[in-house]
Amino acid sequence: MTRKPRIADVAQLAGVSTATVSRALSHPERVEGITRSRVLEAVAATGYRVNAAARDLRSRRARAITLLAPNLANTFFSRIVAAVQDVAGSAGLVVQVSDSQVEAARLAVIGSDGRTDGILLLDGAVDPAIVAGWAVPVVMVCEWQEGMDLCCFGTDNIGGIGQAVDHLAGLGHRRIAYLGGPAGNVLSAARAEGYEAAMRRIGLTVAATDRLPGDFTMRSGAAAAGRWAASPDRATAMVCASDESAIGFVSECDRMGIACPRDVSVVGFDDIEFSDRFIPPLTTVHQPRDLLGRRAATLLVEALTGGGPLRPGRRMLPSRLIVRGSTAAPS
């Protein structure tokens, strides 16, 4: 039986040491171009295959990355997870998906127990001291942490909410209310800032009753609808900080006999899977979730495969308003 080719066979054919062959395959950027080409030609000629398992054991690589997101029950994350798995799978990496709220007790060891090579963090509420203690590269997706020098990838939250307000004002609405996100969340703060800035820019005032608390969930949207309906001078339009809260708001209005958009126009944020199949189809700020996942995963994979260290800073994709059936001119 013909024996399997060994690294020594490659070295002999290429006229280099076995150490040079190993370096050319695991760290090609450290080997001079002509030598690297000879090694690769010898690899092809001999049919040599790297024992990935043994190599990873020696280098203590897990060949896995971890995606940490808060509340994985939220449908917003589905396309991001799928895109990350596609990119990581193409690079031979496994994706470990974890809920940062469920895993709260062991977050400190996730980035330092040797079970992952890098982390995609979608939760800006994780303690910065824990993140700073992780011994692997970290890319933040969608959210960010103020004061931390991390690589972050997200969308324009302020501009997206501004587009929603402009659209409603263009339809003739002069009382535009806002249903926010969870307190202390960076996305909540950015989207609230976008609402206030847009209202000031077009000269519309914000009444105290026009700012409603929420937490990105359908439940909070339904609760907000009850408070809004009880107001004697209620707004004719509602901008919501998430699609799920917008859907909760519209469905509770329907239960109370209040029709959307006849009695109230509603805009969401995210453009989740079923927002275009809801009744009425939801006008919303589209986030390119597939592209977000792909860009962030690519950055992390490149950092793990010799593409250089991650550069700190926020990389922002533009948001885009998609107009559907949940908005109309005030009756």
Rounded CA-CA distance 303/75 in Å is: 29
Q: What is the CATH number of the domain that holds 36?
A: 1.10.260
Does residue 329 sit within a domain?
Answer: no
| Residue 84: pLDDT band with limits 50, 70, 90 | very high
Residues 151 and 130 in one domain: yes
Does residue 325 sit within a domain?
Answer: no
Residues 95 and 172 in one domain: no
The amino acid at residue 122 is: L
Does residue 214 sit within a domain?
Answer: yes
Residues 150 and 295 in one domain: yes
**Domain span including residue 11:** 7-50
What pLDDT shows up at residue 50? 63
Q: Of the given ranges (127-136, 167-176, 300-309), which has the lowest mean pLDDT? A: 300-309
Residues 182 and 270 in one domain: yes
Does residue 219 sit within a domain?
Answer: yes
What pLDDT shows up at residue 93? 87
Residues 303 and 257 in one domain: no
Residues 25 and 111 in one domain: no
First to last CA, the chain: 85
Q: Of the given ranges (6-10, 245-249, 284-288), which has the lowest mean pLDDT? A: 6-10
Does residue 302 sit within a domain?
Answer: yes
| Residue 256: pLDDT band with limits 50, 70, 90 | very high
Q: Mean pLDDT throughout 151-166?
A: 96
What pLDDT shows up at residue 323? 98
Pairing of strands 320-322, 94-99: unpaired
pLDDT at 265 exceeding the cut of 60: yes
Residues 264 and 180 in one domain: yes
Select the more confidently predicted residue: 152 or 92. Answer: 152
Residues 180 and 207 in one domain: yes
Q: What is the CATH number of the domain that holds 174?
A: 3.40.50.2300
What pLDDT shows up at residue 44? 79
pLDDT at 57 exceeding the cut of 50: no
Does residue 88 sit within a domain?
Answer: yes
Residues 127 and 170 in one domain: no
What pLDDT shows up at residue 58? 42
Q: Of the given ranges (142-146, 198-202, 211-215), which has the lowest mean pLDDT? A: 142-146
Q: Mean pLDDT throughout 215-231?
A: 96
What pLDDT shows up at residue 45? 85
Q: Are 156 and 318 spatial neighbours (Cβ–Cβ below 8 Å)?
A: yes
Does residue 312 sit within a domain?
Answer: yes
Residues 31 and 115 in one domain: no
What pLDDT shows up at residue 119? 95
Pairing of strands 320-322, 283-286: antiparallel
| Longest Cα–Cα distance in the chain | 89
Residues 117 and 161 in one domain: no
Residues 151 and 293 in one domain: yes
Distances in whole angstroms, Cα of residue 120 to Cα of each of 69, 100, 326: 9, 11, 34
Does residue 56 sit within a domain?
Answer: no
Rounded CA-CA distance 282/285 in Å is: 10
How many folded domains does the chain comprise?
3
CA dihedral (73, 74, 77, 82) in degrees, to 10, reads 40
pLDDT at 28 exceeding the cut of 80: no
| Averaged pLDDT of the chain | 90
